[in-house]
A = this chain, B = another copy of it.
Amino acid sequence: MKERLILVTNDDGYNAKGLQAAIAVARRFGRVVAIAPETTQSGMSQAITMYNPLFLRKRSESEGVTIYSFSGTPVDCVKMAFDYLLREEKIDLVISGINHGSNSAINVLYSGTMGAAIEGSFYGCPSIGLSLTDHDLDADFEASVRYGTQIVERILEEEVALPCCLNVNFPVARPEEIRGIRVCRQNRGYWREEFYHHEDPHGRDYFWLTGEFINREPEAEDTDEWALAHGYVSVVPVQVDLTDYQRMEGLKTLLK
């Protein structure tokens, strides 16, 4: 049987600890090519680079693992893999992460990690975003690697229907503390921001975004936020048709 090829990317950059954790997951299932952003791309969502040239650099190569940096966004990295670097090969799986920080609830929309995972699914390849609810640069990924491996194994063993995109989040816990895996829906909530406002050394006012997530349904046990708050790994299957079908008839009347 031909060895599988796994594409790994992230939004924290090619030298993030979380990328190594994702590679540790991926390496159990095949050969790994990682193409990750040159710089941090947190919050970059599904952004693509339209008006700048992009630079690709091979950073390291060892048995079964090659790591490149790419000077664009996470989605650019995925496109670079499928449409250029690996276009002659069959990529069997995309893993994006492991992100330093949660991408549950509405964060799926802002997340560069999930932007890349969604993009991978457009290429007819199972794609999994992995995120740990811990922003620490030196976060402990042991439980994430263990449970991430379990999920990837199930997805690769079964012939899952495509497109397939999963938003997987891990609580901060030791492996033995995790209560299991829960398939969830995306929690309803939103961010309320405050702009930190100060003066730079040249006397110019500047603003810096800072915010707080408001969970609108903390008691709803079928959401990803609930699962994470209660010690479970959350798995949300993701689709990309944003049409609000329930509104269509009303709008047809309104805009007649």
Contacts and interface: CB of A to CB of B under 8 A. Distances in A.
A199 B117 CA distance: 30
Interface stretch (A21-29, A59-67, A137-145, A186-194): A186-194
Interface in A162-221: 164-167, 181, 183, 185-186, 188, 190-195, 197, 200, 204-209
Contact of A243 (B51, B54, B84, B185): B185
A63 to B, nearest CB: 26
A248 interface: yes
A160 interface: yes
A1 interface: no
Interface residues of A, number: 78
Interface string A43-59: 11111111111111000
Nearest to A151: B255
Contacts of A108: 242
Contacts of A122: 106, 190-191
